[in-house]
Amino acid sequence: MGMERGNHVPATAGFRSRRGTQGFVIRDTKVRRLNRKWGEVQVPKCGWVRFRWTRPLPEKPGMARVTLDRAGRWHVWFPAPQPALDREPAGAVAGIDRGVRTALVTSDGQHYRAPRISDRQARRYLALQRRMARQRKGSRKREKTRRAMARIQATVTDRRRDWAEKVSTRLVQDHDVIVFEKLNTKDMVKRPKAKPDPEQPGGYLPNRARSKAGLNRGILASCWGTLATRTGQKAAASGAHVIYVDPKHSSQQCRWCGHIAKENRESQAVFQCKGCGRADHADRNAACNVLARGLATMGVPAHAPGHGAHARVRRRPSAGAAGTTPSAA
Ligand SMILES: [Zn+2]
């Protein structure tokens, strides 16, 4: 919910940090609607402040939190319980593989791509980063550079939140049980190894390409965090379940026979079992393993190595949803 910029919300005491998100809380919030897009909230010692009305508000907003993000944008948040999603339990279950390229593949073969930073934005961001490295700490120019970087981050954050909202709604609406891997997101944002340049033996690909890949990895990792949180909240409010399982070997294990080998993974995209010879899209194979492990914790014998069985998934058709591409499996 973006509060109109340029409004002067008083800077009260109690800010935690000068550089992070700052803000304060309003109790006994008074809100009035001006029109479809705009509303006003009463801020103590300040009066009515306009804000952009971006989603339905609770009937009686008890309190509101006003924050100033690092990009210099004011927001006003009205905490409210997560409303239940409109869904019918149909016995559908899904395992989710968190890919590094495609963000997410479900065991029923849905692919979702996470938002990425555009080439233009990445170039600009990295240039700003280099500029900031040369600027004196605490200088006004450096602060200006930081603000410009934060503004780029803010647009990415907005897209990430939007993505997580849409995908989590889809997941919870379509499934009674959703199984995620327990992943340490810190592992996903580790500094990438230098990539050898295939054209030039002994050489490495330009640092800039790697830096951009690093930015995207960071975005992907935060997408995961937001998605997992929102999926959990929506599931809890809507009668669905989210389960986390150990991801160990989920991408190397055959979902039909259970054979585990590094060699099963023919390439980034193809899984070819050296035990039983069956092949599948690699991410989908992993997602099915994740699902089987989740169901196993519930006592459902979905994965029976040797029987060629895996969980059947029924899904209501809902083509054309945002962020989906047809299965590549
Ligand atoms: Zn196999």
Closest listed residue to residue 318, CA positions, set 131, 171, 216: 171
Q: How far is the CA of 253 from the centre of ligand 1 (A)?
A: 8
Q: How far is the CA of 140 from the centre of ligand 1 (A)?
A: 61
Q: How far is the CA of 327 from the centre of ligand 1 (A)?
A: 21
Give the pLDDT mean for 192-221. Answer: 71
Q: How far is the CA of 200 from the centre of ligand 1 (A)?
A: 38
Q: How far is the CA of 273 from the centre of ligand 1 (A)?
A: 5
Closest listed residue to residue 93, CA positions, set 168, 171, 166: 171
pLDDT at 292: 94
Q: How far is the CA of 176 from the centre of ligand 1 (A)?
A: 28
Q: How far is the CA of 94 from the centre of ligand 1 (A)?
A: 21
Q: How far is the CA of 287 from the centre of ligand 1 (A)?
A: 15
Give the pLDDT mean for 150-170. Answer: 92
Q: How far is the CA of 217 from the centre of ligand 1 (A)?
A: 31
> In angstroms, how far is CA 165 from the centroid of its own chain?
9
Residue 200 has pLDDT above 50, yes or no: yes
Q: Is 168 in contact with 96 (CB distance < 8 Å)?
A: no
Q: Is 279 in contact with 271 (CB distance < 8 Å)?
A: yes
Q: How far is the CA of 256 from the centre of ligand 1 (A)?
A: 5
Q: State phi, psi for 253 to the nearest 5 degrees.
A: -90, 140
Q: How far is the CA of 272 from the centre of ligand 1 (A)?
A: 8
Q: How far is the CA of 271 from the centre of ligand 1 (A)?
A: 10
Q: How far is the CA of 306 from the centre of ligand 1 (A)?
A: 9
Map residue 192 onto helix, strand or coil.
coil
Give the distance between the most distant pair of CA atoms in the chain: 72
Q: How far is the CA of 128 from the centre of ligand 1 (A)?
A: 49
Q: Is 235 in contact with 242 (CB distance < 8 Å)?
A: yes
**pLDDT for 57-114, tens place per residue?**
877 878 899 988 888 888 899 888 888 999 988 889 999 998 766 779 999 989 898 8
Q: How far is the CA of 254 from the centre of ligand 1 (A)?
A: 5
**pLDDT for 239-297, tens place per residue?**
999 999 998 999 999 999 999 999 998 888 899 999 999 999 999 999 999 999 999 99
Q: How far is the CA of 309 from the centre of ligand 1 (A)?
A: 12
